[in-house]
Amino acid sequence: MSDLPDKPPPNGRVSPRQRVLLSGKIVYGGQEMTLDCTITDISDTGARVRMLGAQLLVEPLYLVDLRHGIAYRARRAWRREDRVGLAFSERYDLRAPPPELPKLVRQLWIEATR
């Protein structure tokens, strides 16, 4: 029997979020537009990001964690001014990306590591 509680964390999240300060990129829309962002907290199931401007984030939507070489397929869960909550549906290791991942997502990480 596990010592872990059966109920979610007090804030109602399925997975606890960690405060971070990471550079990121958002890739969105059918024409793969990109946008710089700052990842301010992250968990296994979602993240909160800050971005400049009021761009309309159209799916498909990917969040690229430039430091760790990880990308997430996401959807916008909420938005308040320059802050956006993202909910993740898939996670990709950019060192060995699957063929269905848009090439631009991996290319952004490669360029950031140069």
* Segment 57-95, tens digit of pLDDT: 889 999 999 999 999 999 999 999 899 999 999 999 999
Q: Inform me whether the pLDDT recorded for 39 exceeds 80.
A: yes
Into how many domains does the chain fold? 1
Tell me the Ramachandran region of residue 81: left when phi exceeds 0, alpha when psi lies from -120 to 50, beta otherwise.
Answer: left
Mean pLDDT, residues 47-59: 88
- Domain span holding position 55: 18-112
What's the CATH code of the domain at 71? 2.40.10.220
Within a domain: 4: no
Entry pTM: 0.85
- 27, 61 in Cβ contact below 8 A? yes
DSSP, residue by residue, 25-82? EEEETTTTEEEEEEEEEE-SSEEEEE-SS----PSSEEEEETTTTEEEEEEEEEEETT
Q: What are φ and ψ of residue 102, in 5° steps? A: -55, 135
What pLDDT is recorded for position 56?
Answer: 84
